[in-house]
Structure formats: C-alpha cells, structure tokens
Amino acid sequence: MTFDEAVEKYAEALLIGDLMTGEPETSNIESVVQAWVILKHISDCVEERLKALREVMLVRVEKFGRETERGGSHLFVDGTKVMRECRRSSLPEEKALRAILTEHGIALDQAFSKVTKVVLDASKVEALVSLGKIPEEKVEAAKKVSWALKVRLAPELEESLDRIVGAPAKEVEEKAPRAKRAKSIGSRKGA
C-alpha cells in the first residue's frame, strides 16, 4: 500500500465515522494524532471554502433577490431562504470620527470621554512579594495557565492530504523559494 493509499484509507475511515464516534481517551496516540491532523486539514479547507461561498452568496442575493423592509434582500433556493442584511454599529469607527472632528476643527473631547481604568501593576505586585506582604506561592497559584498545542505535519503527509482532501487556499507570496519544511498546525486552549 502506498503512502497516499494509506492516508486516503485512513481519511475515509475517519470521515465515515470510525474515529469520529469513538472515545479519543481509549484510542492510541498515533490514531489520535492522525485524526487531529486530518480533521484540522479538513477544517481549514472547509473554512476557506465557506468564506468563498459566503462572498458569492452575498453578491448573488443582492443581485437576484427581493428587497426586504430593512434594505437588505432575500432569495429562496430549493426552499432555503438566504438573506442579506445590513448590520450597522451604533457608533462610528474611532479613527474615521477622529478624522472628521479634526477636519471640522472640533476638539476630540467634544466626542470622546476620558475613562480612568484600574490596571494591575506587575512591579507593584513584585514589590509586595519581595517585602513579604503577600506570599509568592499564592501569587503564582493565581496566575492563569494555558497550553499551546503545536503539530508539525510531515511534508509527505501534507502533500497527500492536499491531493486527497484538497488544499486550503493560501496567500501567494512572491519570495525566493525556500527549502521544504514541515507545516505547523496549532491550536490554543486555556487550561
């Protein structure tokens, strides 16, 4: 069995449900990593595809749809209602408003208010610890801890996934070619 065939067989089994329905805790680490890599790749492809489809849908609903009461438009496709609605924030963008005020010679304090905010000062906390007023262990225990998960794909696996599942759209950069290196797929979760 070739590497591509093995990846395709594994991806097919995964998508049909073998690893989608099983408990990850009872699977071996190889299966868990392979499942994560394939699902992450598929997720990236789906995300890029959804963005492209969304843009086309917005344009087509505007062009072929019926106008709504709120100035948007809607369209029925095989019984599915697709709506394009305008969402406007209640406040203007700050940068744009600053430019408008400056252009009209209006002081910024006519539209902006100063807000005093109490923030944690790391140097003051360190001073309290060094003076023995609060225990260092308690300060350390009060710190948030999170873990990053980084998975570096083997180049052969990435190439196989691109051929079998499809490649997520990537920005084209005009740079000098570099030596092939493994792609890193990461995920951050708070603990």
At residue 31, the pLDDT reads: 78
Higher pLDDT, 182 or 64: 64
* pLDDT recorded at residue 118: 92
Q: What pLDDT score does 20 carry? A: 64
Q: Which two tokens stand for residue 124?
A: 């003051």
State phi, psi for 115 to the nearest 5 degrees: -120, 125
Q: Please provide residue 84's backbone torsions phi and psi, each rounded to the nearest 5 degrees.
A: -120, 110
- Domains in the chain: boundaries: 3-190
Question: Which residue is it, tokens 């997720």?
Answer: 43
**Cα separation values, 146 from 2, 50, 143, 154, 184, Å:** 39, 30, 10, 26, 19
